[in-house]
Amino acid sequence: MREELLDVVVRKRDLQGDGVVVLDLARADGSALPLFDAGAHVDIHIAPGLVRQYSLCSDPADASLYRLGVLKDPASRGGSVGVHDTLLEGRQLQISLPRNLFPLASGARRTLLLGVASALPR
């Protein structure tokens, strides 16, 4: 079975914080993107043979763009460095459909999400 890929373009690129690039991806043809649930991620096809997963951090109800943030990892095996060096505004690329390996429980009365930051060696 062959994975369905979406053709997207980097509509906006913004450096934020210490080594984090935020990318807004939209469909190359301007059509709506598939909706996703909180916690979903996509596979980014950065270069031939170089595919990495990044979490979506945009509004799940907004089908006009996918936003993701990527930290430039000093121990990168090519993924985060490739994103920082090659995914410039206007660049076209392919991504997978969104998928969610850790969906929120729909019947829960409340949900608590925690984020943990770790210091990277410099």
Is the distance from CB of 57 to CB of 36 less than 8 angstroms? Answer: no
pLDDT at res. 118: 58
Q: What are the 10-residue block averages of pLDDT along the chain, 122 residues in total?
A: 86 90 95 92 92 91 94 79 90 94 81 66 50
Note if the pTM is more than 0.85.
no
Is the distance from CB of 99 to CB of 39 less than 8 angstroms? Answer: no
**Residue 58 maps to a domain:** yes
**Residue 118 maps to a domain:** no
The domain total for the chain is 1
pLDDT at res. 65: 96
From first CA to last CA, the distance across the chain in angstroms is 42
Is the distance from CB of 70 to CB of 25 less than 8 angstroms? Answer: no
Structural domain span for residue 47? 5-96
**Residue 63 maps to a domain:** yes
**Residue 107 maps to a domain:** no
**Residue 105 maps to a domain:** no
